[in-house]
């Protein structure tokens, strides 16, 4: 999935959903089928070169069937985590196997993984390199744990990105970033749009162009049009109702029609 040249206003919008462990197996399959129908029913999304790139991240056991359900669709399949390699890592899932299953991007460094499973910057960096090594896209989650001003929040996030890449700037275009201030995850309201826009602008200024930065954290309808600095939204439980996801996708299409997002290049890879 090439992200080269992506930045607000001249690159794609990414709209994605993780189901975490909220949906059971059969419920996940029904949800995936409904998501596919929602995308197929919207001409602005159904083309392979659509500038609105939809992705879904179901649980590991669902991935094989998810790939079948999404076959021929522009919807990108993601995984919620991976190991840092192959071999004797009991209970883990390797990025190589994920690639075989048709996964295109892998979520890495979510606040829950960092807090509950003690995944520090070194572990996150190993996973980023393993994912890139299998030609997958790391969806790297970043975000300050406590409420900070925009400058301090951006500094914290930039340090996370640089730690995850080992300071290798050539890795940046291979990433998609999800800015999720930890204090806003699961909250009643998302972070204030002016805060998000300011933080994203500072992150982009520090990292340079070519690395899309979405917002996640209690995101829902009405937020995307307010986030002029965001390259999309990473949605959670709200979008487990497919109709709600459709509402956000309609907003993305309206932004596209208003000229806020340039069409993706026909030569741009979605792998």
Which residues are known to be catalytic? 110, 180
**Tokens representing residue 125 in the block:** 């960096």
DSSP state of 147: -
Rounded CA gap, 243 and 239, in Å? 8
For tokens 């992705």, the residue is 55
**Tokens representing residue 134 in the block:** 């299998």
Distances (CA, A) of 191 to 9, 120, 141: 22, 24, 16
Smallest CA-to-CA distance from 255 within 214, 218, 227, 215 is with 227
Q: Are 103 and 63 in contact (CB under 8 A)?
A: yes
Q: Are 58 and 28 in contact (CB under 8 A)?
A: yes
Q: What is the dihedral of CA 124, 248, 239, 66, to 10 degrees?
A: -70
Distances (CA, A) of 128 to 123, 151, 221, 261: 9, 25, 31, 28
Rounded CA gap, 200 and 164, in Å? 18
Burial of 163 (0-12, 13-18, 19+ CB in 10 A): middle
Please count the CA atoms within 13 angstroms of the CA of 85 that sit on its side-chain side.
6
DSSP H stretches of helix in the chain? 25-40, 43-46, 63-70, 95-100, 111-116, 121-133, 150-165, 193-207, 242-257
């Amino acid at each position: 999935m090439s992200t080269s040249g992506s930045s607000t206003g001249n690159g794609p919008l990414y709209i994605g959903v993780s189901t975490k462990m909220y949906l059971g197996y059969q419920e996940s399959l029904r949800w995936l089928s409904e998501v596919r129908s929602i995308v197929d029913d919207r001409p602005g999304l159904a083309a392979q070169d659509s500038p609105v790139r939809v992705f879904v991240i179901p649980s590991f056991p669902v991935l094989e069937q998810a790939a079948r359900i999404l076959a021929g669709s522009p919807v990108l399949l993601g995984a919620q985590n991976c190991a840092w390699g192959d071999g004797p890592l009991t209970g883990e899932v390797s990025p190589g196997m994920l690639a075989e299953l048709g996964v295109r991007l892998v979520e890495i460094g979510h606040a829950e993984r960092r807090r509950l499973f003690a995944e520090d910057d070194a572990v996150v960096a190993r996973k980023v390199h393993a994912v890139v090594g299998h030609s997958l896209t790391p969806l790297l989650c970043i975000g300050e744990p406590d409420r900070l001003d925009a400058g301090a929040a951006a500094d914290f996030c930039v340090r996370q990105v640089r730690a995850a890449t080992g300071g290798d700037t050539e890795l940046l275009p291979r990433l998609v970033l999800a800015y999720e201030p930890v204090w806003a995850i699961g909250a009643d309201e998302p972070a204030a749009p002016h805060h998000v826009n300011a933080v994203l602008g500072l992150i982009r200024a520090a990292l340079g162009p070519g690395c899309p930065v979405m917002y996640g954290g209690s995101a829902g309808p009405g937020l995307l049009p307010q986030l002029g600095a965001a390259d999309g939204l990473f949605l959670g439980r709200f979008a487990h109702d497919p109709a709600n996801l459709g509402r956000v996708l309609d907003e993305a299409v309206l932004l596209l029609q208003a000229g806020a997002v340039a069409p993706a290049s026909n030569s741009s890879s979605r792998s």
